[in-house]
Amino acid sequence: MNKMMLVFLLLPLSLVPLGSAYQHPAKEAPLMTRDLPDVPGKEGLIEKVVLAPGEVVPAHRHNADVFVYVLEGSIFTQVEGGKPQTVHAGEVFYESPVDLHIASGNASATQQATLLVFAVKKIGAPLTVYSGKANSAR
């Protein structure tokens, strides 16, 4: 393989940030989606979200009212204008459709965190929209 080809193949890898500050979406596994007949145009969604140790989620908002139960581990979370908090297994938190989630991720560098998410959203709308704004991870 010539050197120029090798440079073009390896260049994208050199642009990827390393370490726990690397931001990428968590692993989401939809469990159920149902139209809500008594709330026209809305659907309920339940999904399981797994964050790897040290994983940081990019700044985002939801097209939904989102209720989150932490099944295992701990996560840090902060919405714009709110105080940062750490939420542990057995605890819950809420985000409204107008909240910008500016900081979120797994609070542990060694254990995964697992969340159960229940959302009420417009039928067919994506649950999460990434803002492109830098996450103010701790």
Asked if 27 and 49 touch (Cβ cutoff 8 Å), the reply is yes
pLDDT grade, residue 135 (50/70/90)?
low
pLDDT tens string 59-83: 999 999 999 999 999 999 999 999 9
pLDDT tens string 1-35: 444 433 333 433 333 333 444 445 679 999 999 99
Q: 132 — alpha (psi -120 to 50), left (phi > 0) or beta?
A: left
All domains of the chain, ordered by start, with CATH? 21-130 (2.60.120.10)
C-alpha neighbours within 13 Å on the C-beta side of residue 130: 11
Residue 23: the pLDDT is 47
Q: Is 107 helix (H, G, I), strand (E, B) or coil?
A: coil
DSSP classification of residue 16: S
